[in-house]
Structure 1
């Protein structure tokens, strides 16, 4: 996720999450017997993985005690392999991060973007997928590069990092909305030429609202020279997502990363991305910057990001 929240919002969300945890399970749902290997993962409750999540379909939403969506499906698959029962706690995006950083939950999921600042306060798994720079475009139009966006009406959601990128495009006019529905409504009405949102959100809207007559296109990422000249263009590049855990959860992070890497190799991630309308070539192949960003930071200097086979 590419949203930015204030410190006040983060603190308020943390209190909300603490309250939800206090009113949650009294232990009756705790697995009666936990295998030693599972107990050694060090979750807050042995045999249970507590997950902070916000409704963000089709990445994450909660139905009963199950998290559904791309991230939810990946986590449930991993949890089953590790012998863990998934216990969701609903909050907002700021609460997701705060819950991990204060170790009130074991993990948060839902398109959380890796960043050097966030990794200082928590642990990221290997990327369960990469998020390409997607555009919702009015049918009949094609845009490929940042130069193609000059002078256009460009929309996104307030607080998303694409706000900064759009503001850096020469002649472009920013249209910022409280939520994605505003972007789609104005696209359909012709008041906006291109909308920048997370790709599966666009794909879902394209299917659910054919009246909008929009298409999903992927921007050719700006070059290193372009980003150097205009640093805000970095947000037009793909970003690597991760499941985010407390700093203390080293064993759990490593176990989850191992299972994620296996899902690249055995085709399971390809199936899940396709299930939600994504293109595995876009979602499951890292760009050149992915390795460089994390090598020597929170990964070894020879780390290779996971990818599907060519």
Structure 2
């Protein structure tokens, strides 16, 4: 996601990934009879795509050795088309990035936000979906714009980028919690007016904790003028996710991007977004800023972001 972690956490995660790799990187169970096309993709083990993930349902979790969740289902579909066997390695968010940047894994997934800095150290696929600015709101309340948030009690998780956005809202009081459960608990108790979290997390909580009496709403993104006046408001805009790969994994990135683009066209992505309670109109239609952010950076000047029909 768009989460940020301090250096200590990053170092801890890097050590965790090193340990996981040392203990679990043997290729004794590598698939036999790997096709030439799959072998040509240049994965660390031919026919296998090693994936770093953290438990972050309903985006990614590992059950019975398989990755499930929205990102997990997307990768599994694409990997099957490419003749690759998916093998997960569990770590935390900083470890996901470190595993890719040191090429101990082939890819990491789980709502990783594209950024100009991250792409300098790795490769991003085309966006498998775009994450809209979602709000957990108590039933009966409606908030549409940043202006509606003024003077409210706003919650999110410590280290998430929404901390900066909330701090920029006039008169708003930030409530930061160790995890999403704290946000939901205080929202249900009325101590928080709005919680900023990844959308599928909110949708899942609605189903699993009906006693909270909350709903999911989407913030109208701030305008370019508003963001220029308050740069932290940029985090209230939709962000584009991507599967993140090592710099040298150019063939694999292109192959995965091609599969992702095909999933927009054949309806598979819309089906998967709906499976987890998401709205394809929110998740699969890019904001205008997506193209301009990547054109001339890690995409050609004429690149058009994938989208379902508008």
Q: Aligned pair 1:220/2:242, yes or no?
A: no
Q: How does 1:188-267 map to 2 (within 5 A)?
A: 188-267=188-267
Offset at 1:29?
Answer: 1.6
How far, CA to CA, are the matches of 1:266 and 1:298 in structure 2? Answer: 25
Of 16-25 and 207-216, more deviation after overlay is shown by: 16-25
2:277 aligns with: 277
Shift of 1:15: 1.4
User: What SS class does the counterpart of residue 24 from structure 2 fall into?
Assistant: coil
**Aligned equivalent of 1:164:** 164
Deviation at 1:11, TM superposition (A): 2.0
Structure 2 gaps, min length 5:
none
- CA-to-partner distance for each residue in 1:36-59, whole Å, 9 max, x for gaps? 111110000000000000000000
The structural deviation recorded for 1:130 is: 0.2
Alignment size in residue pairs: 310
2:197, 2:126 → 1: CA distance?
A: 23
Please list the CA deviations of residues 180-210 of structure 1 after superposition, one character each: whole Å capped at 9, or x if unmatched: 0000000000000000000000000001100
Once residues 209 and 12 of structure 1 are traced to their aligned partners in structure 2, the CA distance between those partners, rounded to angstroms, is: 33
Q: Give 2:108's aligned residue.
A: 108
- Do residues 294 (structure 1) and 294 (structure 2) align? yes
What TM-score does the superposition give when structure 1 sets the normalisation length?
0.99
Match of 2:23 in 1: 23
**Once the two structures are superposed, what CA deviation does each residue of 1:252-305 show, in whole Å capped at 9, x if it has no partner?**
000000000000000000000000000000000001000000000000000000
Deviation track 1:153-204 (CA, whole Å, cap 9, x = no partner) reads 0000000000000000000000000000000000000000000000000000
CA–CA distance in 1 between the matches of 2:2 and 2:248? Answer: 25
Show the counterpart of 1:72.
72
Question: Tell me, what secondary structure is at the counterpart of 1:308?
Answer: coil
Structure 1 segments (4+ residues) deviating >6 Å: none
Following TM superposition, by how much is the alpha carbon of 1:25 offset from its aligned partner in structure 2, in angstroms? Answer: 4.8
- Give how far 1:27 is off: 2.0
- Higher mean C-alpha displacement, 272-281 vs 28-37: 28-37
Q: Could you list the per-position Cα deviations for residues 108-145 of structure 1 after superposition, in whole angstroms to 9, with x for gaps in the alignment?
A: 00000000000000000000000000000010000000
The DSSP-based 3-state class of the residue aligned with 1:148 is helix
Unpaired segments ≥5 residues, structure 1: none
CA RMSD of aligned residues (A): 0.6
CA distance in 1, matches of 2:296, 2:24: 39
Indicate whether 1:137 and 2:137 are aligned.
Answer: yes
- The answer to whether the aligner puts 1:60 opposite 2:82 as a matched pair is no
